[in-house]
Amino acid sequence: MAINKDYRQKEEDLYKKDNMTLKEYKAQLVALRKEKKGKLEALLTPQQKEEIANHKKKMSEDMQVMEAARLERLKLRLNLSDDQVAKIKTGEKSLRDQMKAIHENDDLLPEQKREQEKALFAKRKDAFKSVLTPDQYSQFENMDQHHRGPGGPGEAR
């Protein structure tokens, strides 16, 4: 609690400074967040750090299973060829790796991360458009829209 309170106070103090550029403000805010993260991580015991690592590993494995199931559903529902499946699988892995890099980049503010994620979702949409036939893409969009709902992740608002 003390770390969070100290962070909030420093953040407020930084916000009150009106003699700096937006770039300087963002840089100092990123530095504050890194400092807070470091202090919080220093509080963890080795056992807690191991538990977190195990949890992340399990989550990663679960995501891989869900992604494989999703790809299999796409294959069946859209009647995809093996070549299309391979291209989609490669594209999704690339997207996943890029998303991970964004999430792990402590030099970015949350809104910068959201902007980059939004750009990745747009690239994903273009990749699907280039791999699928027009009819398959139309079906895919209907499935994706139904899954996300209006205004879901990656959708331009």
DSSP for 39-81, written as a single string: HHHHHS-HHHHHHHHHHHHHHHHHHHHHHHHHHHHHHHHHT--
Token pair of 79 as six digits: 């009647």
Site of tokens 């494995």: 61
Instruction: Indicate if 65 and 37 belong to the same structural domain.
Output: no
For residue 59, what pLDDT is reported? 94
For residue 154, what pLDDT is reported? 47
For residue 147, what pLDDT is reported? 65
Instruction: Indicate if 28 and 76 belong to the same structural domain.
Output: no
For residue 77, what pLDDT is reported? 93
What is the average per-residue pLDDT within 43-65?
Answer: 93
Instruction: Indicate if 37 and 80 belong to the same structural domain.
Output: no
Confidence category of residue 14, pLDDT binned at 50, 70, 90: confident
Instruction: Indicate if 128 and 79 belong to the same structural domain.
Output: yes
Instruction: Indicate if 75 and 140 belong to the same structural domain.
Output: yes
Instruction: Indicate if 122 and 50 belong to the same structural domain.
Output: yes
Instruction: Indicate if 38 and 51 belong to the same structural domain.
Output: no
For residue 157, what pLDDT is reported? 34
Confidence category of residue 12, pLDDT binned at 50, 70, 90: confident
Domain holding 37, by residue range, is 1-43
Instruction: Indicate if 123 and 110 belong to the same structural domain.
Output: yes
Instruction: Indicate if 70 and 127 belong to the same structural domain.
Output: yes
pLDDT greater at residue 150 or residue 129: 129
Q: Report how far apart, in Å, the C-alpha atoms of 9 and of each of 12, 14, 16, 20, 53 are.
A: 5, 9, 11, 18, 31
Instruction: Indicate if 84 and 63 belong to the same structural domain.
Output: yes
Q: What is the tally of structural domains in the chain? A: 2
pTM for the model: 0.66
Instruction: Indicate if 10 and 70 belong to the same structural domain.
Output: no
Q: Report how far apart, in Å, the C-alpha atoms of 18 and of each of 8, 15, 22, 117 are.
A: 18, 8, 10, 30
For residue 7, what pLDDT is reported? 87
pLDDT tens per residue across span 127-147: 999 999 999 999 998 887 766
Instruction: Indicate if 88 and 37 belong to the same structural domain.
Output: no
For residue 148, what pLDDT is reported? 62
